[in-house]
Each structure stands twice: as structure tokens, then as C-alpha cells.
Amino acid sequence: MLTYLINGLSLGSVYAIIALGYTMVYGIAKMLNFAHGDVIMIGGYVAFCSTSYLGLGPIPSTLFAVVVCTVLGIVVERLAYKPLRNATSLAVLITAIGVSYFLQNAALLIWSSNPKSFPNLVGSIPNVVIGELVIPSTAIVTVIANLLIMLALTMFTGRTKMGKAMRAVSEDKGAAQLMGINVNRTISVTFAIGSGLAAIAGVLLCSAYPTLMPTTGSMPGIKAFTAAVFGGIGSIPGAMLGGILLGVIEIFAKAYISTQLSDAIVFAVLIVVLLVKPTGLLGKKVSEKV
């Protein structure tokens, strides 16, 4: 029972970190970045290469993955999304899907479709044993990383100038621009942060589930997106809450109901939540002015 809870919290924390990237980008650019899941996969591969081929330690490889993904996020935003700033949201969505295909197939060409066995980067830390209960170090590191990220992001959006600019842009792009905020730069920074977080999520995800393939990122990506909606898309604490709940529900469904139906149960819970609270758990209600 407690083991399941710990596994759930661990998986949920990974979802939460991914969901943060979705939610931030959605809040500011009003777009569903479907390629986000594939950035996770790229982060995983970069960390894999830097440990296996370059022989870097866990922390330098993670940092390297973060740098690569941040740059990737900025480049993708510049090349693919920026030209579509004034296009319909569907056009941007399809472009994001194009980017997703691109990243997956690029990874396929570089690393082939054979699954790579990911080295557990946090394996050097010993597991915590309390009586019969074994808490894997991966779970501890994941949960702590999640809390730190959450804290840092809350501070960032609440206290810093850039963070305030982000909140202003998400409220009203036009008005923010009139107040002298560089909207394009703000959006780029958001993508950079989101992609950097995706890299961390990639390392943590692969540490817990060590098979790495070009499609590794897509299902966690979809689930994290669900988590972001679950918590109320656009809301940072919402992404956190949604991610953790989703992870816990998934693990418990797997353990007690059916492995094959666990995804269906997760999605069914999402549907029920949205019917009761149509904008997610912590989402704001926006009504159209007549």
C-alpha cells in the first residue's frame, strides 16, 4: 500500500514537472505544445549519451541535457512557432505535431529504434529502508526535484521582473506590449524554461523506467498534458496537483484494478473532474462578456 503510494508520488512528480512545461507555454502563448513530450525524449537521449559515451557523472550529464533542451526549445520556437504568432490555434497545434514527428524521426535516425537501456543516474544514492518498506532513491530524488522546481518557479513568477512580465503576457498580450514588455522575448524565455524542465523530467523518467526509445516521450507527454488540464491549464500549482494525483491514480489503478485498464481509468477520472469543474481543479473561470 505505502509502496504504491510512493511509486505513485514518484511517477506523479515526473508528470508534474512535464505538466509545468505544458501549462506555462499554454498560459503564455495559448498553444498546446504537442512536441513537449518529445523534448523529454531528447533530454533522455542526451543524458544517456553523455554518461555512456562521454563518461560524464550524473549531475554534469543532467545539466548538459538541460542546456541542449533549452537551446532546442528556443530554436524550435524561433523557427516553427514564432512565424505563426497571429495564426489560429489549430494551425499552431498542427505545426507542433509536425515538430513532434520531426523530433521523433530525427531521434530514430540518430539513435535507431532499438531501445537503449538507460543507466540509473541517481542509483549511486542508497535506497532508504524503513522496516519492511524500501523507498527507492529515484523516488526520493524525483519528489525533491519536483518540490524544488515548484518552489523556484513560484518565486520566479512572483518575484522577478521576467516572471511578472510572463504573468502580464498571459493575462493580456496586447496590454502587456503597450506597457513596454517584450512579448516575443517573454514567450522565448517561457519555451526555454519549459524545455529545460522537460530535460530534467526526461532524466528522472528514464531513471525510473529505463527503456529509452524515440517514442518514449509521447505517452508521458499526453498524460502530463492531461494532468495540466486536470489541475486547470495555465495554473502552476494546478499542474503540480494534477500531475501528482494522476500519477497516484495510475499506480493504484494498475495495482488494484487492471494493468490494461489503468490508462482508461486515468482518463475517466479526468472526464469526471472536468464535468464537475469544467476548468480543472484550480483553473479560473472565464466567462464571456455579453
Give the binding site for another protein (CB under 8 A).
26, 32, 34, 80, 83-84, 87-88, 90-91, 93-95, 97-99, 101-102, 104-106, 108-109, 218, 222, 225-226, 229, 233, 258, 260-261, 263-264, 267-268, 270-271, 274-275, 278-280, 288, 290
Shorter beta-carbon distance to another protein: residue 74 or 274:
274
Query: Which one, 59 or 109, has the nearer CB to another protein?
Result: 109
Which is closer to another protein, CB of 13 or CB of 100?
Answer: 100
Least distance in angstroms from the C-beta of 78 to another protein: 12
**Hey, what's the cell of 115?**
531501445
For residues 51 and 123, give the distance between their C-alpha atoms in angstroms, rounded to a whole number. Answer: 13
- Cell numbers that stand for 83 in this block: 512565424
Containing H/E element for 29? helix 2-29
Cβ 92 to another protein, closest distance in Å? Answer: 8
The answer to whether the beta carbons of residues 13 and 243 sit under 8 Å apart is: yes
For residues 263 and 227, give the distance between their C-alpha atoms in angstroms, rounded to a whole number: 12
Min dist. Cβ of residue 69 to another protein (A): 19
3-state SS, one letter per residue, for 133-174: EEECHHHHHHHHHHHHHHHHHHHHHHHCHHHHHHHHHHHCHH
C-beta closer to another protein: residue 58 or 234: 234
Shortest distance, position 179 Cβ to another protein, whole Å? 24
Q: Which is nearer to another protein, 107 or 204 (CB)?
A: 107
CB of residue 226 to another protein, shortest distance in Å: 7
Residue in 26, 174, 199 with CA at minimum distance from that of residue 86? 174
Question: Around Cβ 178, how many Cβ atoms within 10 Å?
Answer: 9
